[in-house]
Amino acid sequence: MNKKLVLSVLSTALVASMASAAMAKPSAGIYIGGDVDKYYSAIPFLDNFDAALDEILDNLEDSVFVDPNGNAAKLSDALSADDINTVLKPATEADFEANDYKVVGEEGKVWNPEDETDWPPVVPGELKVESVSAINGKQVEIKFATAVDEDTVVDGSGKLLNVKFIETTNAAGVTEANVDAELSEDGKTLTVYPGGSEYFKGTYTVEVSTGVKDEAGNALAQKYTSILSVSDTTAPAFVSATASAKTTTNKVTLKFSEPVVDTSPVVKVNGVAGSVAYGDDKTELVVTTTAPLTAGQSYSLQVLNLKDFAGNLLASYDGNVTITGDATAPTVGNVTVVRDNLVEVTFDKAISLSSLQASGAVKLLDGNSADISANIAGIITKPNTTGGKTFQIQLTNSTIPFVNNSFSGTLVFTDKVTDTAGNKIAPTSKPVTLTLDKTAPTVTGVSFKKANATGTYGGVSLAKGALVVKFSEEVAKDAAMDTASASWTLIDNNGAVVTSTYLTDTELAAAKVNTLDKTEVVIPLKATILATDKITSLTVRLPQGQVDDLSLSANTNTSAVVSTTVDPDAVPSDDTTLPTVAFGTEGGTAATGNTFTITASDDVEVDKATLLDLNNYRLDGAPLPAGTYITITGTTTLTAKVNLPVEAISKDKDYALTVSGIKDKAGNTAVTLTENAVGLKDFVAPELSAATLNTNGSLTLSFSEAVLSGANTEADFELFVNDSAKFNTGTDKAFAIADGTGSEAGKYVLTVKKSVIGIASDNNKEVTVNGQTHTTADALDVVKFTFVDVNGSKIYDAGDILISAVDTGDTTAIAFAADGNYDLNSASSVVLATKATPTLVKDASTTGNAVKGDKEITVK
């Protein structure tokens, strides 16, 4: 995450809301987890800003922002949202780590979410994105709160669905159509892998659409958007080297901490380089040696020139690999009937396929134990699996004795079956029951694949796009489909029949069953659907008899009518002239905030949508702040006025502006505009952030930003001591403000003035002032009053704060005089506030923003 981006957002919306009066639990502020475990409220956060910012950057995904109403959001989501309110939700215990958070600014105090008793209940099963994070340059994880439907995030070719990674100007390109995806067994973690040699680098906007659904069919409530920054500078680490054999082997499996490039390394076993290929995934390499390796022996192992996809090089690895002796016999695990002519069997370890395929290795017996193995048509490794443990036994129906559409028999695995080390299985029998499938496959849906000049899907070219028809079970094309276009109907959203435009016998003949998902049939289109066609959806009517299921009965499909949305392509154009973009002027007022303009022109027409897209603008490398809006004027030459929120700019300086992605109607993109001197002004008013009582009895006043000298600024403040009336700030003011020095430089120091005056007693040896009677030793003695002259009257009268009254034992008069400063530590209460409309305390900006009014701080 860009430090300037974090700084920009934290210094505006987040800190402003944190500083509001807390009204709910947990308290407003930032909770940093990870290795930090700290809680910052607004003032400690500002007082420790640099350190806190570094802690946030190191633990961004483990940090939570809470507003004054008790609503929470992951800090990464709050920073990336256009409107923070769209990501805030009532805080729950699950938002925080289950441990103590140190409360910064309150020595020894901690907060633990488990101690709270009034957490709102978590909505069970709510589908939401919990986080998006980069494991490395080749792997990004998207975590969901509940299990998602795999078909809504991974398509039939193993590619990513309903998730986009939108590159910023500094990001490495990732081809959307080639991104692979894999969903975890619990359905909650989606791991994304860029295709080929591509990898993530830089900053991306991640969008998860509402097309993602949970297993019950409930869609994501709203599109999820997050900013993902990826900088993979960590080299892959060597994890393990394993090999096993009954006697000898020529295979060594290497495991690494992340996906690696298989063409780069040199791997030597016993000093001799072997060939290298991927194993079960790209974190695993299998080395084939030129000489056999003997069980029980140890061999030297050297790995050179190995790198990850980001180019990080593993330091040369030198070690050993021991060939583990394997004399353990494999065992049969689950036997599962997939359909009436297909049975799956799983073993506890990798099995030699050739041993399974050997004559007599696997037998099928009927209910009378008669051998009907002639019905075993073949045995294959289960498609799209790794590990060599799961196999499919394919059956025919030449002599299987079905009775009332059912057959019960036995599969026998003989000792001809061996593992890859050559260990024989103990003969094993497994019961199997087959039921003839008489159910026709049905259409469950249809989807549209956008045109991609070089892309394919399920083995079919996407040069002009394709339709993907989804069935209720695995199918094969029926020969009738190749010449059935007259029986198909395509209807667009305008009600027009467009079959002949996009679908003929040629396309149906080219259609294929997706080899990675045999429930899908992929049909190429005759023509690309363009934006000018004004087609946003298609209704497809397909006749019966187009596909057959894979059962013994080869049931054919029933007719169906299904619909899909369409994402049309841009209109091809002869217009190749790029639009031009130029910087205009800066402006703005304290009431409306900063503004700046850019102009855009084109020989035909500028696409206004690209000018209005906030994502096309960057200030100092960060997205435009939340609350920004853009207006456009002009016809041929357009002027876009960018209006920033008042609170967005808190420092006078020249900002670097980047404008990219501005296009004309033909899709031509303007050259990126860079303007490094956009002069924006600070219109953000400073705020009284703290009033700290010092040991000498003075108050130190802190502000949210640097302010000018405090001399003669008393009239901007209201002071109340011991529930007194408001202190006088006019002539003969009751307190003084001076600039702090040393460690308090940049702050104000407030001191309350102390005064003395003498009042003579009457002949009754008494002095009565402000309703209090003071007795003297002699009739005309003077009583010396030490007090705070709250109203500035230069006499001790009503409303003044009495400090002491002492009989001087003398008749000498004592005139009103200053007597140093009053120690506020001795006061029972101290309250300081800024008045409603201050004019004297100002920040150091060129606009001279006056301090915010009506900010009250109870000191004690």
Q: Is 6 helix (H, G, I), strand (E, B) or coil?
A: helix
Q: Are residues 827 and 705 in the same domain?
A: yes
Structure-block tokens of residue 839: 């004019």
Q: Are residues 495 and 359 in the same domain?
A: no
Q: What is the pLDDT of residue 7?
A: 59
Q: Are residues 555 and 588 in the same domain?
A: no
Q: Are residues 793 and 848 in the same domain?
A: yes
CA 543 to chain centre: 45
Q: Are residues 833 and 808 in the same domain?
A: yes
Q: How confident is the model at residue 838 (pLDDT cuts 50, 70, 90)?
A: very high
- 342 - beta bridge partners? 339, 394
DSSP run (H or E) holding 469: strand 466-471
Structure-block tokens of residue 410: 């036995």
DSSP run (H or E) holding 804: strand 801-807
223-251 tens-digit pLDDT: 898 889 999 999 999 999 999 999 999 99
Q: What is the pLDDT of residue 22?
A: 45
Helices (H) and strands (E) in the chain, counts: 9, 60
Residue 123 counted as domain residue: no
508-530 tens-digit pLDDT: 999 999 988 899 999 999 999 98
Q: How confident is the model at residue 687 (pLDDT cuts 50, 70, 90)?
A: very high
Distance separating alpha carbons of residues 419 and 424, to the nearest angstrom: 7
Side chain identity, residue 597: T
Q: Read out DSSP for 129-163?
A: EEEEEEEETTEEEEEESS-B-GGGTB-TTSBB-SE
262-316 tens-digit pLDDT: 987 889 999 999 999 999 899 999 999 999 999 999 999 999 889 999 989 887 8
Q: What is the pLDDT of residue 125?
A: 64
Q: Is 51 helix (H, G, I), strand (E, B) or coil?
A: helix
Q: Are residues 673 and 696 in the same domain?
A: no
Among 92, 115, 138, the domain boundary falls at 115
Average pLDDT across the chain, whole number: 90
The CATH number of residue 599's host domain is 2.60.40
**Residue 842 predicted with pLDDT over 60:** yes
Residue 122 counted as domain residue: no
Structure-block tokens of residue 676: 């490094």
Q: Where are the beta strands (DSSP E) in 326-402?
A: 332-339, 342-347, 362-365, 376-381, 390-395
Residue 797 counted as domain residue: yes
| Residue 717 contacts residue 730 (beta carbons within 8 Å) | no
Distance separating alpha carbons of residues 361 and 697, to the nearest angstrom: 96
Q: Are residues 832 and 703 in the same domain?
A: yes
Q: What is the pLDDT of residue 3?
A: 55
Residue 569 counted as domain residue: no
Residue 573 counted as domain residue: no
Q: What is the pLDDT of residue 21?
A: 43
Q: Are residues 806 and 730 in the same domain?
A: yes
Supply the pTM of this predicted model.
0.50
621-638 tens-digit pLDDT: 788 998 899 999 998 899
Q: Are residues 371 and 418 in the same domain?
A: yes
Q: Are residues 611 and 519 in the same domain?
A: no
Q: Are residues 708 and 812 in the same domain?
A: yes
Residue 284 counted as domain residue: yes
Q: Are residues 846 and 722 in the same domain?
A: yes
385-412 tens-digit pLDDT: 888 999 999 999 888 999 999 999 999 9
| Structural domain count, the chain | 7
The CATH number of residue 302's host domain is 2.60.40.1220
CA nearest to 208, candidates 134, 132, 150: 132
60-107 tens-digit pLDDT: 888 999 888 888 888 888 877 777 887 888 888 878 887 889 999 888
Q: How confident is the model at residue 481 (pLDDT cuts 50, 70, 90)?
A: very high
Among 52, 87, 115, the domain boundary falls at 115
- Domain ranges, residue 509: 443-560
Among 660, 680, 700, the domain boundary falls at 680
Side chain identity, residue 68: P
Half-sphere exposure of 325 (CA within 13 A, CB side): 3
Q: What is the pLDDT of residue 76?
A: 81
| Residue 330 contacts residue 398 (beta carbons within 8 Å) | no
752-807 tens-digit pLDDT: 999 999 998 877 788 888 888 888 888 889 999 999 999 999 999 988 999 999 99
Return all residues near 464 (Cβ < 8 A) that are at least 6 apart.
451, 524, 525, 526, 527, 528
Residue 760 counted as domain residue: yes
Lowest-pLDDT choice from 236-240, 463-467, 652-656: 652-656
